[in-house]
Amino acid sequence: MAEIIDGKEIARAIREAIREEAAALREKTGVTPGLAVVLVGDDPASWIYVRRKAQACEEVRFLSRELRLPADAAEGELLDIIAQLNGDDAIHGILVQLPLPEQIRTQAIIEAIDPEKDVDGFHPVNVGRLLTGNPGHVACTPRGVIELLDRIGVDIAGKEAVIVGRSNIVGKPLALLLLARHATVTICHTRTRNLPETTRRADILVAAAGRPEMIRGEMIKEGAVVIDVGINRRPDGGLVGDVAFAEAERRAAYITPVPGGVGPMTIAMLLGNTLAAARRIAAPV
């Protein structure tokens, strides 16, 4: 039976360390890390994510600012808010909760954020830095996955890593991070032929497709490390990952649960990016 990776506990320890580091920064420089989270519309799932981020900020004593716009807000209104936040010295991180309503161009918004305050790591400057091996802010979920692998002591170098999903926020940046750590990386997607054959090669298998329980036990190599990024809502309201947990647990060496695996790590990494941004502003190199 696989060992279950306790992302909740690992994330708690990281938040605790961040709280101490932020206190030391405040003591030394008078700077308190500040995160602004902008939400457009009233999607209930987005609202929950925004609340969780604000709560996490409070827990580590960051300054947290929540800004809300109505669902029919114009792109210009959001751009004005971002311009204000870019120029606000108390704010070190800016996060615009996605998805955005269709009248707003997501890419235009991402590109309007100052790359130094882009704590989501989605700005092309930060994506380019990651691609060229000189990372700035790195997307939080992929960073959280690497952190989990490090915490359980996986030696990534030389391993076969297979990622199911090629999104800009998870699959692609994670592939770059694993490559930088010398894994041999395969990215699978909806057009991949014979997915089970590919996933069975994986020493490290990451599921980030958003398809409930699509990774079955027989798709997993014995002794693999299985990281489940997927968060899917079941008809009864509960959450389920992209991995069929009970089957996978019998084959994997390590596995993350949903919830309590990657999810809490994402928020911990967001706090980490905000602290790093505050440090850079407090003591520019």
Catalytic sites, residue numbers: 53, 97, 120
Tokens 């395969």, residue located? 186
Question: Among residues 126 and 141, whose Cβ is nearest to ligand NAD?
Answer: 141
Question: Among residues 10 and 31, whose Cβ is nearest to ligand NAD?
Answer: 10
Question: Among residues 100 and 208, whose Cβ is nearest to ligand NAD?
Answer: 208
Question: Among residues 157 and 193, whose Cβ is nearest to ligand NAD?
Answer: 193
> What is the distance between the alpha carbons of residues 77 and 118, in angstroms, rounded to a whole number?
19
Q: Does 208 bind ligand NAD (CB under 6 A)?
A: yes
**Tokens read off for 126:** 């930060």
Neighbours of 199 (CB within 10 A): 25
Q: Does 266 bind ligand NAD (CB under 6 A)?
A: yes
Of residues 33, 93, 171, 257, which one binds ligand NAD by CB under 6 A? 171
Q: Does 106 bind ligand NAD (CB under 6 A)?
A: no
> What is the distance between the alpha carbons of residues 20 and 173, in angstroms, rounded to a whole number?
29
Q: Does 105 bind ligand NAD (CB under 6 A)?
A: no
DSSP annotation string for 157-225: TT-EEEEE---TTTHHHHHHHHHHTT-EEEEE-TT-SSHHHHHTT-SEEEE-S--TT-B-GGGS-TT-E
| Interacting span for ligand NAD (CB under 6 A) from 85-93, 119-127, 175-183, 260-268 | 260-268
Closest alpha carbon to 139 in 153, 120, 114, 111: 120
Question: Which stretches of the chain bind ligand NAD, using CB under 6 A?
Answer: 141, 164-167, 169-171, 188-190, 192, 195, 208-211, 214, 229-232, 262-263, 266
